[in-house]
Amino acid sequence: MSVISTQLVDDLKGTALASIAGATSLEELDAKRVELLGKKGRFTSLLKELGSLEPESRKSFGALLNSVKSEIEGSLDARKSALGSESIQRRLETEWIDVTLPVQAPVVIASPGALHPLLTVQRDLEQIFHGLGFTVVDGPEMEREYYNFEALNIPNTHPARDMQDTFWTKDGNLLRTHTSTMQVRSLERMKPPLKIVAPGRVFRYERVDATHGHTFYQMEGMMVDRHVSVGHLIYFMKTLLREIFGSEQKIRLRPGYFPFVEPGFELDIWFQGRWLELLPCGLVHPKVLEFGGIDPAEWQGFAFGLGLSRLVMSRYQIHDIRHMDGGDLRFLRQFS
């Protein structure tokens, strides 16, 4: 005798639909589908039993089971879409995104850029001098006439002023012609013993050519201590050049005149078949120390004014100083 009865099919349908309606997640619903309609599912087992029925009953139960089966399938699908939209709703409630926040742009480095050779050399020099105990100081490019000339023992009538003509503002200030302005500025602020370097931009009313710019860079250096002599000066200049070039350079030292040093020297470097003025220097003039409020009977010093732009030229074999501020990318890219 067959186990299939209308009652049984009704019961199965009732519990199946109730349990489908009670599923709270898509995973649970999927498990129920397998439990009912899978190979070994409860409903599938009933279908299998159809074969043992009399042909007459097989036909009527077959039709009943098929309609129940599509009812169960319909209910599974309906619950599935209900659970799906519930989970979307839940996500919408729990997850959020603020579309007004700025988007983090992907970093696309087409050309990362590089330091200008002037800055590279300036930093190298600062490093070297830092190692020798010097402090790096900075000062204004627009300067008072006093610090550029008078305090450096170059009074108004002095012919040395003609050598360094510059750009003047209407109120009597000027664009500094050299970094020597930092000598008295530093003496005023720091007590000896002191060692400073002051890199920076300077300006001159100049006939521009391959080795002369109207705007160029220098680095001033000054040491003030007891018993400073020309021996100290030469030692530091030699150390400096060796550190920069990594080897001994062909140089020459000759007398040079600057009102703010005594004695004064010109240190030239051999560059492209000729001597290039690079590093004027000397012992700080007693009058300059006095302008800085320092007693020259107790303290002495040396100072130098390195032509930074020219040093860069000789280090990188740059043939024309105008390349340095010309802004030509073909020139600049060689240093990236």
Q: Which residues contact ligand FA5 by CB under 6 A?
A: 178, 180, 204, 206, 212-213, 216, 218, 258, 261, 264, 277-278, 280-282, 303-305, 307, 309-310, 321
Q: Taking every pair of C-alpha atoms in the chain, what is the biggest distance, in angstroms?
A: 136
Nearer to ligand FA5, 12 or 202 (CB): 202
**What whole-number distance in Å separates Cα of residue 177 and Cα of residue 306?**
13
Look up residue 172 and give its DSSP letter: S
319 is written with which tokens?
């043939």
The DSSP bridge pattern shows strands 142-143 and 251-255 to be unpaired
**Least distance in Å: CB of 218 to ligand FA5?**
5
Q: Which is nearer to ligand FA5, 58 or 275 (CB)?
A: 275
d(CA 184, CA 280): 18
To ligand FA5, the closest distance from the beta carbon of 213 in angstroms equals 4
Query: CB-wise, 139 or 264, nearer to ligand FA5?
Result: 264
Give the contacts of 186 (CB within 8 A, at least 6 positions apart).
137, 194, 196, 198, 222, 292
Say how many C-beta atoms besides its own lie within 10 A of residue 318's C-beta. Answer: 18
Are 258 and 282 in contact by the 8 Å Cβ rule? The answer is yes
Sequence-distant (6+) residues with CB within 8 A of 308 are: 118, 121, 122, 125, 199, 216, 217, 218, 219
Whether the Cβ atoms of residue 263 and residue 238 lie closer than 8 Å to each other: no
Q: Looking at residue 168, what DSSP letter applies?
A: B
Q: By beta-carbon distance, which residue lies closest to ligand FA5?
A: 307
Dihedral angle of Cα 117, 120, 125, 131, to the nearest 10 degrees: -170
3-state secondary structure of 251: strand
Question: In terms of CB distance, is 60 or 245 closer to ligand FA5?
Answer: 245
Give residue for tokens 């190298």.
124
Q: Of 144 and 212, which has the nearer Cβ to ligand FA5?
A: 212
In the complex, minimum distance from the CB of residue 293 to ligand FA5, in angstroms, rounded to a whole number: 19
- The residue (of 65 and 303) whose beta carbon lies closer to ligand FA5 is 303
* Residue 242 Cβ vs ligand FA5, minimum distance, rounded to whole Å: 18
For ligand FA5, give the closer residue by CB, 117 or 307.
307
CB distance 136 to 221 below 8 Å = no
Residue 129 near residue 136, CB atoms below 8 Å: yes
**Least distance to ligand FA5, CB of residue 99, Å:** 56
To the nearest whole angstrom, how small is the minimum distance from the Cβ of residue 313 to ligand FA5?
Answer: 9
In this complex, which beta carbon is closest to ligand FA5, that of residue 40 or of residue 207? Answer: 207
Of 120 and 215, nearer to ligand FA5 (C-beta) is: 215
The residues pairing with 276 across neighbouring beta strands, listed in sequence order, are 269
Six-digit token string for 47: 């279908």
Smallest gap from residue 257 Cβ to ligand FA5 (A): 10
**Least distance CB 265 / ligand FA5 (angstroms):** 8
Least distance to ligand FA5 from the beta carbon of 219, Å?
9
